């Protein structure tokens, strides 16, 4: 160990008790919240577009160094709430086409690049080969992007692609703290389902002015509905329907591993808002996840899960019969029986027919930043939506980068599929189900990016961390 590492470790291990470090962490988070609220109501709202991401980064660095457990929950909440904060700022001071506040979650996650670089030389020996392979694929795309694309879109693409990988690696490499990380993530997603679910129902019924303003300015009427009460597809505090569907899919599956008085109120608003997203892909992912969890745990846990499912159904189903909720959900469910006439299905099928050959023939790839273009009329940078993670990989990374990236992801899925710890640890079973069900959705969406990518890679990493933790415990006992 060199002198820099010794100094770094001594800094982390100062004579503060865990309680004192926790108190300092909460004070930092409270300070961040108070500063944000004060700026918003004290006439410095426009300045929040810079202050918010900078202070979020500073708090993240502090928590990463002093209270790693709080850093994990802070990171998730920044992902959950930053889009709403951005909409509130836009509503008060005007539309910002650059969406610069949305950089905050990526900055907070990128703190974990320190973990990746510190452990990279021996990552393969520690079981982190899947993350190394994915990193190589993304880095290749970054280099190609620097050749073919403008630097700012390339940097933006790097944040999108790399953030889930390095955060997941951070979760995995800290496997010794798996019980604490597990408890933290369970608690975080329990409150996430409760708060985001309640706001989602409120959004559908009331259609708040800031959400209507965002929908009008973004012009996403086809994917997000009409800016009127009972007319929106719910996206809650997230920035669109798809990311919210991914978050709720993961949170609702995790509820089966949690306990406490908040489970059922969280389930009611969570499932109701999840249905109101009208996100069929995530509905299917949730169902696949349920099947995987129930099929991988012991009989005793299976019975408990089935009872929970029945009780939740008794609580939620009557609410879905109330108009206009019933009409919205029923109309969306009916599309499953006639997919050939569904516009969304036809658009995705047409995209595959048109682009699959082009993507597979793209050997070098277009590099990171290739999905960003400049609108000739407005001069603004806009994103080109590719409704397929598979197509996106080959267009962006080419064959060379996609082989490494997909190789790492497939190796990760194959590894977690063989674990037996899920039979007695329902969190590992749920984490594996969340990760695998999310990966199946790559066929019809770029679910390896942004918050959806954080969920896909992060929960697969937690399953790996749990496996390594129990293997170490077994070897220690022997």
> What mean pLDDT value characterizes the chain?
86
Same domain, 367 and 261: yes
**Domain residues for 49?**
1-117
Same domain, 310 and 428: yes
Same domain, 40 and 155: no
Same domain, 251 and 346: yes
Is residue 319's pLDDT more than 50? Answer: yes
Q: Is residue 274 in a domain? A: yes
pLDDT of residue 20: 65
Same domain, 291 and 353: yes
| Entry pTM | 0.89
Is residue 15's pLDDT more than 70? Answer: no
Is residue 19's pLDDT more than 70? Answer: no
Q: What's the per-residue H, E or C state across 284-318? A: HHHHHHHHHHHHHCCHHHHHHHHHHHHHHHHHHHH
Is residue 85's pLDDT more than 50? Answer: yes
What span, in angstroms and rounded, lies between the C-alpha atoms of 369 and 146? 9
Residue 232 pairs in a beta bridge with 225
pLDDT of residue 476: 67
Is residue 232's pLDDT more than 80? Answer: yes
Q: Which residue has better confidence, 324 or 51? A: 51
Q: Which residue has better confidence, 143 or 371? A: 143
Same domain, 104 and 218: no
Tens digit of each residue's pLDDT (9 = 90 or more) over 171-225: 999 999 999 999 999 999 999 999 999 999 999 999 999 999 999 998 887 778 8
* Mean pLDDT score, 338-349: 60
Tens digit of each residue's pLDDT (9 = 90 or more) over 364-401: 888 898 764 444 444 444 445 566 788 888 888 988 89
Q: Is residue 122 in a domain? A: no
pLDDT of residue 385: 55
Q: Is residue 356 in a domain? A: yes
Domain limit, last residue, from 117, 151, 166: 117
What span, in angstroms and rounded, lies between the C-alpha atoms of 429 and 298? 11
Same domain, 98 and 200: no
* Mean pLDDT score, 82-93: 96
pLDDT of residue 1: 46
* Contacts with 424 (C-beta within 8 Å, 6 or more apart), sequence order: 297, 298, 301
Q: Which residue has better confidence, 124 or 71? A: 71
Instruction: State the Cα angle at 219 between 216 and 220, rounded to 5°.
Output: 115
**What total number of domains does the chain contain?**
2
Confidence of residue 73 (pLDDT cuts 50, 70, 90): very high
Same domain, 164 and 210: yes
Least confident of 51-55, 89-93, 157-161, 375-379: 375-379
Same domain, 448 and 367: yes
Same domain, 94 and 186: no
């Amino acid at each position: 160990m060199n002198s820099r590492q010794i100094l770094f470790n001594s800094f982390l291990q100062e004579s503060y008790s865990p309680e004192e470090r926790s108190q300092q962490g909460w004070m930092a988070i409270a300070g961040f919240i108070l500063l944000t609220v004060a700026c918003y109501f004290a006439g410095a709202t426009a300045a929040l577009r810079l202050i918010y991401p900078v202070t979020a980064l500073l708090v993240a660095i502090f928590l990463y160094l002093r209270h790693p457990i709080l850093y994990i929950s802070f990171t998730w909440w920044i992902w959950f709430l930053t889009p709403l904060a951005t909409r509130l700022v836009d509503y008060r001071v005007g539309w910002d086409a650059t969406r610069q506040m949305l950089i905050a979650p990526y900055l907070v996650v990128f703190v974990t690049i320190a973990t990746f670089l510190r452990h990279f030389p021996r990552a393969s020996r520690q079981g982190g080969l899947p993350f190394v392979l994915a990193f190589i694929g993304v880095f290749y795309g970054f280099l190609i992007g620097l050749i073919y694309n403008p630097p700012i879109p390339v940097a933006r693409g790097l944040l999108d692609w790399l953030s889930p990988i390095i955060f997941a690696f951070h979760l995995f490499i800290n496997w010794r703290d798996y019980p604490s990380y597990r408890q933290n993530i369970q608690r975080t997603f329990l409150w996430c389902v409760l708060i985001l679910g309640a706001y989602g129902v409120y959004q559908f019924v009331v259609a708040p002015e800031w959400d209507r303003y965002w929908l009008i300015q973004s012009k996403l009427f086809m994917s997000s509905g009409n800016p009127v009460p009972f007319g929106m597809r719910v996206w809650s505090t997230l920035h669109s329907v798809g990311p919210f569907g991914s978050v709720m899919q993961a949170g609702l599956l995790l509820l089966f591993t949690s306990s406490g008085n908040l489970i059922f109120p969280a389930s009611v608003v969570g499932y109701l808002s999840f249905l109101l997203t009208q996100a069929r892909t995530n509905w299917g992912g949730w169902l696949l996840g349920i099947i995987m969890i129930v099929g991988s745990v012991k009989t005793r846990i299976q019975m408990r899960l089935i009872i929970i499912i029945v009780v939740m159904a008794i609580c939620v189903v009557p609410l879905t019969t109330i108009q206009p909720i019933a009409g919205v959900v029923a109309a969306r469910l009916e599309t499953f029986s006639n997919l050939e006439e569904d516009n969304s299905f036809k658009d995705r099928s047409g995209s595959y027919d048109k682009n699959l050959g082009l993507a597979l023939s793209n050997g070098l790839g277009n590099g990171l930043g290739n999905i960003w273009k400049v609108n000739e009329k407005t001069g603004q940078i806009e994103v080109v939506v590719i409704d397929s993670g598979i197509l996106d990989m080959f267009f962006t990374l080419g064959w060379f980068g996609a082989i490494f990236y997909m190789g790492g992801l497939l190796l990760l899925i194959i590894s977690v599929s063989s674990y037996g710890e899920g039979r007695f640890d329902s969190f590992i079973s749920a984490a594996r189900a969340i990760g695998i069900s999310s990966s199946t959705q790559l066929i019809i969406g770029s679910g390896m990016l942004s918050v959806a990518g954080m969920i896909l890679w992060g929960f697969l990493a937690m399953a790996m961390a749990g496996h390594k933790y129990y293997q170490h415990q077994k070897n220690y006992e022997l």
